[in-house]
């Protein structure tokens, strides 16, 4: 392709770290765009990216979060398309990005299926994953779409509640639009102005959802449910305490919904929760959420 | 008869851009006739969008200002209707797909016709997706303006072949307001266009001085300027009409001599 440089947007910083890692390995230049607010709440990942040789741009436009990071990365790409490739971080954006990202992520569901068949001799009953743009969820769901008996549940960020102005629950509150190169659901007003969304989780703090998720919702194949900050934080602490696994605050949204539905499922049922990221990056933010000021 | 053809009829065209409602719609209603009197061949009116990914920071800030002040698509339609009573200058709306789609694409274009808009410029709709707009543009007699960046010859030909009204070329790879001199490359692009179709070509993005406008109009049929004018709006606010009129007149005079 003749590209010597990669750029990426990042919310929580996981995709930025991954892109910076690959660029370091391949000897490519790497620049990552991240909302200024996210560089503060995910400071550990900013330092990781810089350690890996990437340049991190703190985006100060708009809400200074993931949506604005995507805007700035798109602008940068049009500025230097001749030598730069955009490594988009979710199953979103213009075609063929949603398909490219899905095809790389679908290994998650294929692994789940293979391991489940090997260990249990059957498919799981329920799959759960958090959804911002929706890459980890699409990765988990994709190989199961034809297995109609498997419930697919995507967990959206409801922030301070779906009835408040501070959430990022696109399926719950959004309407059809065309933005960031895709036709999908977006949180927006009646004039198509994109809403300033909110979530405690930088990775889910995005006003849209990948178009293939919109389709799974429309055809009734997958369910999308809202999970609040409070529920996610509680699940973050619960999984850490009970299992010794500190999940990313994004993934904790899926854990929270699993906790909600588990009591009604029956003991013979099998649920799979995708822990899409590790929670080290979130420890300081969760401490602050609980009113503990730790020196990060 | 479409007003667009007249814009390029006998001279190099100057196309100023303003964001609707910056600083307010009353000023917009004064600015457009003033720019027309100063010799603008066509006026681009930007419908603000929360996320204007094809704009530089100057116009992005203008969009934020005017949305915060309560400007909406409906108010802009009403305003343009009043503008149309004062001037016959060709008018183009520049906006993004989401405000059009969410408003209802057909309703949007019907309103464009109703209020006297001649053309529509939508930078985030690529050639491959223009069927979202073309049927409604045709139905309501609005010219959909195609855009070009420096890209492969095949792509330039493909876009030029189906272009209508005039063709908009980015003067440097990239978004509005970030200028770089690439005139040799531009000339090559325009040569490819003209081989394919005899259509006026306007060059925009990043032009702020009479010298730049002269340089560009030596190779193109028209020149546009956005950020330079929006900067005046930011600086002078409600007192921007005369400074903008003077700026437009100076560019018109400069390119008329080419």
Asked whether the beta carbons of A257 and A225 are under 8 A apart, the reply is yes
Supply the pLDDT for residue B5: 86
User: If you average pLDDT over every residue of chain B, what do you get?
Assistant: 92
Per-residue confidence (pLDDT) for residue A296, from 0 to 100? 53
**How close does chain B come to A74, measured CA to CA in Å?**
7
Partners of residue A186 in chain B, C-beta under 8 Å: 98
Q: How far is B54 from chain A, CA to nearest CA, in Å?
A: 7
Residues of B in contact with A78 (CB under 8 A): 54, 149, 173-175
Residues of B in CB contact (< 8 Å) with A are: 49-51, 53-54, 57, 60, 64, 67, 72-74, 96-103, 124, 126, 132, 149, 173-175, 178
Average pLDDT over residues B177-205: 80
Structure tokens that stand for B56 in this block: 């530089």
Residues of A in contact with B53 (CB under 8 A): 71, 74-75, 180
Contact A191 B51 (CB under 8 A): no
Angle of CA points B39, B45, B47, to nearest 5°: 175
Q: Which helix (H) or strand (E) holds A126?
A: strand A126-131
Q: Which residues of A touch B73 (CB under 8 A)?
A: 191-192
Instruction: Choose the closest CB to A178 out of B57, B97, B149.
Output: B97
Question: How far is residue A166's CA from residue B116's CA, in Å, rounded to a whole number?
Answer: 39
Comparing alpha-carbon positions, the chain A residue that sits nearest to B180 is: A79
Q: Is B173 a residue whose pLDDT tops 70?
A: no
Which of A191, A195, A197, A208 should one mutate to test binding to chain B, selecting the residue with the greatest count of B CBs within 10 A?
Answer: A191
Q: Please list every residue in chain A whose beta carbon sits closer than 8 Å to the beta carbon of residue B50.
A: 62, 193-194
Q: How far is B96 from chain A (nearest CA, A)?
A: 8
Q: Would you say residue B171 has pLDDT above 80? A: no
Mean pLDDT lowest among B30-34, B159-163, B177-181: B177-181
Contacts of residue A75 in chain B, CB cutoff 8 Å? 53, 174-175
ipTM of the predicted assembly exceeds 0.90: yes
Which of A274, A153, A272, A271 shows the shortest CA–CA distance to A222? A153
Query: pLDDT band for position B152 (50/70/90)?
Result: confident
- Give the Cα separation of B100 and B124 in Å (integer): 12
Residue with tokens 């005079």: B253
Helix/strand/coil (H/E/C) assignment for every residue in chain B: CCHHHHHCCCCCEEEEEEECCCCCHHHHHHHHHHHHHCCCCCEEEECCCCCCCCCCHHHHHHHHHHHHCCCCHHHHHHHHHHHHHHCCCCEEEECCHHHHHHHCHHHHHHHHHHHCCCEEECCCCCHHHHHHCHHHHHHHCCEEEEEECCCCHHHHHHHHHHCCCCEEEECCCCCCCCCCCCHHHHHHHHHHHHHHCCCCEEEECCCCCHHHHHHHHCCCCEEEECHHHHHHHHHHHHHCHHHHHHHHHHHHHHHHCC
Residue of A nearest to B65 (CA): A62
At residue B180, the pLDDT reads 47
B149: which chain A residues are within 8 Å (Cβ-Cβ)? Answer: 78
Choose, out of B47, B99, B205, the residue to mutate when testing the contact with A (most A CBs < 10 Å): B99
B185/A167: higher pLDDT: A167
Question: H or E element: which one contains A153?
Answer: strand A151-159
Domains and CATH numbers, chain B: 3-256 (3.20.20.70)
Give the residue numbers in A contacting B (CB under 8 Å), as ranges.
61-62, 67-68, 71, 74-75, 78-82, 94, 175-181, 183, 186, 188, 190-194
| Residue of A74, A80, A186 with shortest CB distance to B53 | A74
Residue B69 tokens read as: 């002040």
Q: Which helix (H) or strand (E) holds A115?
A: helix A107-120
Comparing CA positions, the residue from A92, A176, A74, A188 lying closest to residue A132 is A92
Name the pLDDT band for B182 (thresholds 50, 70, 90): low
The per-residue pLDDT for range B41-95, each reduced to its tens digit, is 999 999 999 999 999 899 999 999 999 999 999 999 999 999 999 999 999 999 9
- Rounded to the nearest angstrom, the minimum Cα separation between B133 and chain A is 12
Give mean pLDDT, residues B22-41.
Answer: 98
- pLDDT, position B257: 83
pTM beyond 0.80, yes or no: yes
Q: Which segments of A134-228 does DSSP mark as H helices, in order?
A: 135-141, 170-173, 211-218
Percent of chain B with pLDDT over 70: 94
List CB contacts (< 8 A) between A61 and chain B: 57, 60
| A227, β-bridge pairs | A157
Mean pLDDT over B11-39 rounds to 97
Report the residue from A71, A81, A190 with minimal CB separation from B53: A71
- Residue A4's alpha-carbon distances to A1, A28, A75, B214, in angstroms, are 9, 6, 18, 36
Residue B1 pLDDT: 47
Q: Residues B109-151: pLDDT tens digits?
A: 999 999 999 999 999 999 999 999 999 999 999 999 999 876 7
Q: Which residues of chain A have pLDDT under 70?
A: 295-296
Nearest CB to A81 within list B99, B103, B173: B173
């Amino acid at each position: 392709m003749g590209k010597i440089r990669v750029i990426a947007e990042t919310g929580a910083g996981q995709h930025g770290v991954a892109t910076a890692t690959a660029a370091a390995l391949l000897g490519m230049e790497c620049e990552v765009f991240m909302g200024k607010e996210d560089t503060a709440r995910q400071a550990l990942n900013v330092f990781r990216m810089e350690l890996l040789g990437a340049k991190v741009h703190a985006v100060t436009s708009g809400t200074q979060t993931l949506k604005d990071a995507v805007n700035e990365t798109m602008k940068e790409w049009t500025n230097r398309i001749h030598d730069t490739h955009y490594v988009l971080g979710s199953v979103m954006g213009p075609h063929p990005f949603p398909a490219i990202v899905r095809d790389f992520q679908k290994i998650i569901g294929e692994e789940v299926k293979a391991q489940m068949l090997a260990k249990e001799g059957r498919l799981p009953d329920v799959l759960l994953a958090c959804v911002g743009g929706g890459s980890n969820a699409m990765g988990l769901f994709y190989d199961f779409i034809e297995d109609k008996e498997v419930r697919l549940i995507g967990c959206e960020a409801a922030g301070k509640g779906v009835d408040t102005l501070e959430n990022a629950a696109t399926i719950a509150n959004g309407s059809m639009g065309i933005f960031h190169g895709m036709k999908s659901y977006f949180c927006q007003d009646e004039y198509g102005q994109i809403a300033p969304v909110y979530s405690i989780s930088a990775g889910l703090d995005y006003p849209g959802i990948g178009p293939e998720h919109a389709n799974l919702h429309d055809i009734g194949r997958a369910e999308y449910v809202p999970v609040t900050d409070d529920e996610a934080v509680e699940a973050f602490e619960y999984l850490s305490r009970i299992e010794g696994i500190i999940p990313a605050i994004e993934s904790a949204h899926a854990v929270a919904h699993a906790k909600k539905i588990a009591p009604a499922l029956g003991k013979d049922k099998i649920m799979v929760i995708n822990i899409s990221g590790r929670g080290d990056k979130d420890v300081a933010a969760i401490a602050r959420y609980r009113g503990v000021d730790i020196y990060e | 008869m479409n007003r667009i053809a007249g814009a390029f009829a006998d001279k190099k065209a100057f196309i100023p851009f303003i964001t609707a409602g910056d600083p307010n719609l009353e000023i917009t209603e004064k600015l457009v006739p003033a720019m027309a009197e100063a010799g603008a061949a066509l006026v681009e009116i930007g419908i603000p969008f929360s996320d204007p990914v094809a704009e530089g920071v100057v116009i992005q800030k203008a969009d934020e200002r005017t949305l915060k002040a309560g400007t909406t698509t409906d108010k802009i339609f009403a305003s343009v209707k009043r503008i149309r009573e004062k001037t016959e200058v060709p008018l183009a709306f520049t906006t993004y797909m989401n405000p059009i789609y969410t408003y209802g694409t057909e309703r949007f274009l019907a309103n464009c016709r109703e209020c006297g808009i001649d053309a529509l410029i939508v930078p985030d709709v690529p050639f491959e997706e223009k069927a979202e707009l073309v049927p409604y543009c045709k139905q309501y007699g609005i010219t959909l303006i195609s855009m070009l960046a420096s890209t492969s010859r095949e792509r330039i030909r493909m876009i030029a072949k189906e272009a209508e009204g005039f063709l908009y070329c980015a003067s440097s790879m990239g978004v509005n307001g970030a200028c770089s001199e690439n005139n040799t490359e531009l000339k090559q692009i325009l040569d490819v266009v003209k081989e394919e179709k005899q259509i006026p070509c306007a060059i925009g993005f990043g032009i702020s001085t009479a010298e730049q406008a002269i340089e560009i109009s030596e190779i193109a049929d028209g020149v546009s300027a956005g950020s330079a004018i929006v900067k005046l709006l930011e600086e002078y606010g409600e007192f921007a009409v005369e400074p903008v009129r003077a700026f437009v007149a100076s560019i018109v005079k400069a390119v008329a001599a080419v």
